[in-house]
């Protein structure tokens, strides 16, 4: 059908026999695909009889997107989920998703618009706290990656320190509600990952770079996040299913044990992170962790007991 559309968009008129021969399909299949294009609001003109032809009407507005029903639903749900993240600051990805969420209907086939309107009316999404990321920065970084252009920016670390960076951008990543850039840092002579929401004053230079062997982007990011963290494990008296659900917002490695328990392995920089997940599990567990983590758990348990006693 896409080949048929591309052929008709040349502006010529084609007989049915000519189109069927070009596309290698039967006349019946051709008629079906013509009807399908019309369902998507492509204005295919037909002249029957001797000298008859098919032609795409010129001078008409761009037709709606060619989407299946489930694809249209997935787009709306994706926009709704993305719009629920961040703080909706002007120019942010989540703010752009919010605007697109209200506009997508007009680009869909007529047969889908009522269903999408009903779906929108039935939806409600809870806010997900996440750093606000500039849609413009993501777009410019995509351009720089495609054109192999060096970029410069000021980068604010987690402790508030700011440094100027000049990098060869390689890949953008989305992990646990945050956007990252994997790039070769020309000042450090090594690969680095940067939180995109901490990038300030992004500038594309006219200098281009040659591609270099790069690590697996997501593996490098996850390993980098875990590099300064300590290994911790919990043996939970519950099967992997509910354990995975409780730790769904964390990077963990689950191992099913023979006795119905689950081993949860993770790397942490502070002992507080797993407390909420463990509380929601409502299951007994044992801890394998560095001493200062265990001491933190003990102190919290004492505070909790004291609070419950009052």
- In this structure, which topology does domain 230-309 adopt according to CATH? Alpha-Beta Plaits (3.30.70)
Give the chain's length. Answer: 310
Contact (CB, 8 A) for 31 and 39: no
CA distance 215 to 195: 18
Q: What confidence category does residue 167 fall into, taking pLDDT thresholds of 50, 70 and 90?
A: very high
CA distance 33 to 55: 13
CATH architecture type of domain 1-56: Orthogonal Bundle (1.10)
Token pair 């769904």: residue: 248
Question: Among 66, 270, 7, 13, which Cα is nearest to 158's?
Answer: 270
The residue with greater pLDDT, 135 or 72, is 135
Does 291 score more than 80 pLDDT?
Answer: yes
Q: What is the pLDDT of residue 36?
A: 85
pLDDT tens by residue, 258-276:
899 999 999 998 899 899 9
Least trusted range by pLDDT, from 42-46, 103-107, 239-243, 270-274: 103-107
The per-residue pLDDT for range 177-230, each reduced to its tens digit, is 899 999 999 999 999 999 999 999 999 999 999 999 999 999 999 888 878 789
Residue 5's closest CA among 47, 64, 48, 52? 64
Domain chopping of the chain, boundaries: 1-56, 69-122, 135-228, 230-309
The matching CATH number, chosen from 2.30.30, 3.40.1000, 2.40.160, 1.10.287, for 135-228 is 2.30.30
Determine the Cα–Cα distance for residues 88 and 95; give it in Å rounded to an integer. Answer: 4
What's the predicted TM-score (pTM) here?
Answer: 0.66
Residues paired with residue 233 on neighbouring β-strands, in sequence order: 265, 288
- Measured between alpha carbons, how far is 237 from 9 in angstroms, rounded to an integer? 63
């Amino acid at each position: 059908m896409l080949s048929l559309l591309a052929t008709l968009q040349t502006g010529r008129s084609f007989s049915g026999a000519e189109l069927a021969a070009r596309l290698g399909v039967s006349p019946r299949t051709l008629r079906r695909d013509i009807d399908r294009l019309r369902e998507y609001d492509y204005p295919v003109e037909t002249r029957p009889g001797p000298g008859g032809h098919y032609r795409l009407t010129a001078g008409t507005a761009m037709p709606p997107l060619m989407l299946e029903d489930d694809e249209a639903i997935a787009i709306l749900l994706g926009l709704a989920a993305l719009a629920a993240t961040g703080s909706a600051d002007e120019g942010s990805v989540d703010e752009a998703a919010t605007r697109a969420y209200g506009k997508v209907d007009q680009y869909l086939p007529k047969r889908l618009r009522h269903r999408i309107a009903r779906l929108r009316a039935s939806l409600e999404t809870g806010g997900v706290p996440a750093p606000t990321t500039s849609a413009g920065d993501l777009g410019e970084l995509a351009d720089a990656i495609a054109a192999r252009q060096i970029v410069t920016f000021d980068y604010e670390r987690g402790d508030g320190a700011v440094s100027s960076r000049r990098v060869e951008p390689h890949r953008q990543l989305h992990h646990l509600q945050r956007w990252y850039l994997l790039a070769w840092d020309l000042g450090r002579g090594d690969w680095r990952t940067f939180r995109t929401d901490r990038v300030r004053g992004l500038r594309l230079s006219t200098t281009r770079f040659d591609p270099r062997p790069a690590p697996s982007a997501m593996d490098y990011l996850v390993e980098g996040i875990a590099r300064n963290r300590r290994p911790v494990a919990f043996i939970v008296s519950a099967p992997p299913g509910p354990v995975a659900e409780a730790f769904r917002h964390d990077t963990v490695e689950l191992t099913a044990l023979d006795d119905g328990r689950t081993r949860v392995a993770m790397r942490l920089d502070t002992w507080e992170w797993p407390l909420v997940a463990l509380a929601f599990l409502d299951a007994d567990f044992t801890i394998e962790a560095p001493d200062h983590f265990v001491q933190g758990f003990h102190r919290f348990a004492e505070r909790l007991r004291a609070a419950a006693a009052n």
